[in-house]
Chain A
């Protein structure tokens, strides 16, 4: 009896498996992704919008945990079981996949022209000749502030560095709020929300970043040490025991209304919107003098590429071309405020905070995080070292000069810029 049940179960499984194969006479595309938070958005909004226009193509979004993604994807690609469409991490992780022949060159895809060179740089070969993923979204750095607190203290969002410190001093003097919610325990807060946030104004965005890669500038040059000098000045404005304050601590301090300013990445927006009970505003990293050119970190974060071994290359290309279209950009950017479309066509967004962030693109020049392209390929890893040193500078363990010197020395250890 038991065996009979088992056999029939097995038969049923096999049959249903066959049935699904038979049903999918049109192309069914599977998307590999690490954004399991976005599953509902893909299922309810993005995929129906695409399938309505392309009746022959079915899309299957199969995300996994972010920490497992890189390893699992590599294994799947190597064994030939990966999906048709691959979400791309920026820079080296994806470049490695392209070099191994797992991703297709998409340079000639319809809609690639919708993206700026900075947007595409994250998924190009070093010489820029081949682009292998369609840029999907970026995150922008800046400062989110508690508008209610600012109104109560009669403060306005600062534009210059002088105003920035005046605002911080005023909040500190009032004493009701911690001026700035940031900790150094998790290290990356100091580097990503601190150094990479304010840095582009000093090293002049893309100019400085490219010069560093070309070896024309060094991390010990004044424009690269200056952001560390500024970070060191933040120390008195951070909360008690910031040395042991972790990233979730900082988020909670701000959303509970205990801190007034939060050095942020735009990915915080949707979370803060649901958590915070007060009005929020945002300002870009302050410039040295009123009227100076401003630069923002508009960091490319997600792209999508095509598995070179896909059985449905035409369908996959149709989907990617749609991902490159303004229509996708509008749906995606509104569903996930804080993940901004990289499409050159302006996207209308409903979230006011997200609007504020993206409005900086008009006046300021965009750049990406300085350590991401090429420079974090070797050991010691420049990005990891920047985490440690940014925290060291704020903690006072290292002086800004010392920190810059350490980073440059580590970089010199393995990186020889092309002459």
Chain B
């Protein structure tokens, strides 16, 4: 193909001098990345094979993983967290990303007035600290001081109100939706950019062929933004399986009620750093972190090799 041809053209005639500048330019990024990402990651993986026995860390092989999956209590906590995490992810995929795409589609309508205002307003929560978001939503949903019961009573729907954050059945959904509210701006922006990238000629050609309105969106625009949707999905996946902050600020480290909002991040936090009387357990914490890493790695690999390679890309 074109790339191969170029390579052979350039590589053959004379020997290249060693290109030092490449190493020099790469060095800062490589050094920083190694120091703050790769080494800690390696250290964590390493630590998961050790156990602290009377103040000394000894190598125990896969014992920690056996405890995590074999011990009834550890396994129950872990699977509960994983299940909640999957639900957390599914809610994001089903609510956040379709809404993001829809908003982007609306924003890209050329005749829309105040598009810039909407764009900023919807993106703004993403810039807020999770502490603020958690606090605001706790207040909004509070049965005592919150504005929700009042607003619902204005439309005669007060009977629908419940202390959502305090009920095992609804707490996880409520927290997920808060997270969706906060981060819906990101898929919107990415898709919006992708939609703006579609050349007018393509759309005009479609219109000449009589494809307009909704069918234009489904048949022309959507296939063209599919790669962006793929990227968003994988970003959501990684973000959700690393999530911790919002749950911690809204529901606390025990992720109540009854562990119903406990996700892998909060389980890791409690195990690694300890909580109240529970002393931190570095090695079990590292074990959970390793499992999280593997889950995310598996998900990303699945996407890269299973989906992205097969995705059709269109060149304009």
Contacts and interface: CB of A to CB of B under 8 A. Distances in A.
Contact of B257 (A100, A239, A379, A395): A395
Contact of A392 (B71, B72, B258): B258
Contacts of A395: 166-168, 257-258
A92 B279 contact: yes
A93 B279 contact: yes
Q: Main secondary structure on chain B at its contact with chain A?
A: loop
Contacts of B221: none
Interface in A367-402: 371-372, 376-377, 379-384, 387-388, 391-392, 395, 397-398
Contacts of B277: 91-92, 371-372, 376, 381-384
Contacts of A240: 143-144
A413 interface: yes
B30 to A, nearest CB: 30
Given A186-B252, A245-B163, A246-B138, A376 B278 contact: yes
Given A185-B165, A383-B276, A249 B144 contact: yes
B141 interface: yes
A384 B275 contact: yes
A383 B278 contact: yes
Interface string A105-137: 000000000000000000000000000000000
B73 interface: yes
B140 to A, nearest CB: 11
A368 B156 CA distance: 50
Given A187-B257, A383-B277, A241 B73 contact: no
Interface residues of A, number: 41
Contacts of B142: 241, 244-245, 249
B218 interface: no
A239 B142 CA distance: 12
B74 A239 contact: no
A240 B143 CA distance: 7
A243 interface: yes
Contacts of B252: 186-187
Best-surrounded residue of B142, B166, B168 (most CB of chain A within 10 A): B166
Contacts of B278: 376, 379, 381, 383-384
A335 interface: no
A96 interface: yes
Nearest to B77: A380
A167 interface: no
A96 B55 CA distance: 10
A168 interface: no
A242 interface: yes
A377 B145 CA distance: 38
Nearest to A240: B143
Contact of A391 (B74, B165, B258): B258
A242 B166 contact: yes
A241 B259 contact: no
A90 to B, nearest CB: 9
Nearest to A380: B73
A392 B284 CA distance: 27
A243 B167 contact: yes
Interface string A84-100: 00000001110010001
A196 interface: no
A153 B278 CA distance: 44
A395 B168 CA distance: 9
B63 interface: no
17 contacts: A92-B279, A96-B279, A185-B257, A241-B143, A242-B166, A243-B167, A244-B141, A244-B142, A244-B165, A245-B166, A376-B278, A379-B73, A380-B73, A383-B276, A384-B254, A384-B277, A384-B278
Interface of A: 71, 91-93, 96, 100, 183-188, 239-246, 249, 253, 371-372, 376-377, 379-384, 387-388, 391-392, 395, 397-398, 410, 413
Interface of B: 55, 71-74, 77, 138, 141-145, 162-168, 252, 254, 256-259, 270-271, 273, 275-279, 281, 284
